[in-house]
Structure 1
Amino acid sequence: MRKLILAIALCVYTLPVYAERLKELVSFAGVRNNQLVGYGLVVGLDGTGDQTTQTPFTIQALRNMLTNLGVQVPDGGNIQLKNIAVVTVTTTLPPFARPGQPLDVVVSSLGNAKSLRGGTLLMSPLKGADGQIYAMAQGNLIVAGAGAAAGGSSTQINQLATGRIPSGATVERAVPTLLGNGEFVQLELLKTDFSTASRVVNAINMQVGPVAAALDGRVIQVRAPLDPNQRVAFLARLEDITVTQGEATPKVIINARTGSVVMNQAVKIEPCAVAHGNLTVTIQAENNVVQPNALAGGQTAPVQNANIDIDAAGGAVVRLPKATTLNQVVRALNAVGATPQDLLAILQAMKIAGALNAELEVI
């Protein structure tokens, strides 16, 4: 009976170990997205387009489009159009995409258009990094924002200069994707870690045999079948293998602009003493006017006085015990009673003193 109670107690107080599927930890070499970008015209705007006098490239794009359609626009003249806008069109070409596959696109204003709401994107080619056209985009924009102006007052909700076109692009050219090199497929860890790489190799070899070997702390080489159908089934089996990641490196992320502090569960602190006090400087201005007597011959003049008060609040010395879990670390830091902005300086001082077992990263 005692042995049973001891076994139950060990199960209750043992820290949980979480295993993740391999597809959540790695990516397959060569299987990647490709960014596409294009330049186009949005028409049909209700007077909210570009001011063509300030954006001459809008007129240039309009002339080029009309010339391609067989319409000759005479040179010179002051063309004033308020219902068109030049835009950039962006999308992501997923791996294994084939011609005819639809893609969602994001349309963003390049000029000074007030709103793209209600506009229609004319056919725009989307190019990759190599300058080749991989998709064509066209369609009606969906803008989540709304705005109105009247009598010198205006109001706006969300962004009006950016919109989306669901399934607004069609793939015209496929990007060759090589799923492996010969008989080998390389797995790339999303985060470089030698412990995790070793555990992935051991998990694969235990499940499917001695086919995996780690090349470094990020890349794992796996022998896979040569037949495409068998290779896909083999990689699908690899994706479902569960692996426990190596322990994370203790890290504290500090955002000096907002005063935010984020730390992971591996952060630990050693026993130390912290004294924290606040220094407050208050400046109060008093504006007076000096009015001379009627026969004094002087002039009325403003006089500015300032009262300066310095308040140095004393801070008691707080002893922080050793903390090995995230919950203990949070409780120990809360005992100091510092604001998040003050905590930035305290954590840096604790790191220099050797009391903080974590890597500080300022963003």
Structure 2
Amino acid sequence: MAHKTSVAYAGALIAAAALAGVSPARSHTIVGNRLFPATLSVDDPGVNDELALPSFVYAASANYDGTLGALSYTFAWEYQKTITADFSLAIGSAFTHQANPSSNGWGNIETQAKYVFYQNPEHEFIIAGAVNVEWGHTGASPDFTSLASPPDRYSTVTPKLYIGKGFGDVEADWAKPFAITAEVDYSLSTHPIDVTLQQDPDSGINYIALTQTPTRLTYGATLQYSLLYMNSYVHELPEVFRRLIPAFEGIFTSPVSNIGPSVPGEWTHTTTGVVGPSLYYIGNYFQLGVMAQLPINQASGKHIGVAAVLDFFLDDIAPETIGRPLFGPPQARPGRI
């Protein structure tokens, strides 16, 4: 009996691009005088009542020989609801249209529980954690198998850690608008190894196929310079700049275990990622953000991708109804932002 081994992997960063744009719980967080926007590479470190509709990601994969692979356009939504001021639940999903070859499909449904462990308003510092579940076989498409990253048949559980720090507590006025956020995820499949009996189409010989779903470490960070903060707490800016937060972001994914042997023509052991500048506009009731995503290597994509999000602040739109926690008081909001 012949024996073949294949490894499931995120080809050409379409999976990583989706991760950057459609993970649940996109929101804005306020700690002391600092507003952390809902960035497109990593989630912000807080919990809020938010609706992101839509999120958008465009990505172009590269084949192993360097030629252009699939082009994907992903449209996503996510809804986050605070249960208490420090705990939230979220749900989201995404629809992907792929060209070259052409196919369409809904991704699996994702849910997330998130909790803020620590906040220090004076130093604009926050730490939070979450558990995300991508529910296997909840995606729907007549031709999802032709997608570069089809929905998994099995669920994936991802513990997450978030951190945010604003520099409004430093003495230099020019440095006060700076802030950083970071996220680390560890994704484990509920079915890491799948053994199936298949048949070679040429010889007709049956063989055992072993498919491994790697455990993955995803890590990313943002460096922000908040003109919104500068206008509110340092010195007044022209109207056109007052609500903007430019940033530079990056997100990377590395397989860490259950990878299997290196397979010619596949990036089974390769770290993939994107970096790039971004810009966020913070309105009274919504946020609009856009990011240019530059692939870090050939495995990550063929050329620059784009991500964008329109995020509605339900806690500001309806603070006494759907925008407040189910239990307990709402979060404190400073008046000058």
- The answer, yes or no, to whether TM exceeds 0.5 is no
TM-score between both structures, scaled by the size of structure 1? 0.22
Kindly indicate which of the two structures has a greater share of residues assigned to helix. 1
Which structure has more relative contact order (CA 8 Å, sep 6+)? It is 2
Task: Name whichever structure is richer in strand by fraction.
Answer: 2
Q: Which has the larger radius of gyration?
A: 1
TM-score (norm 2): 0.23
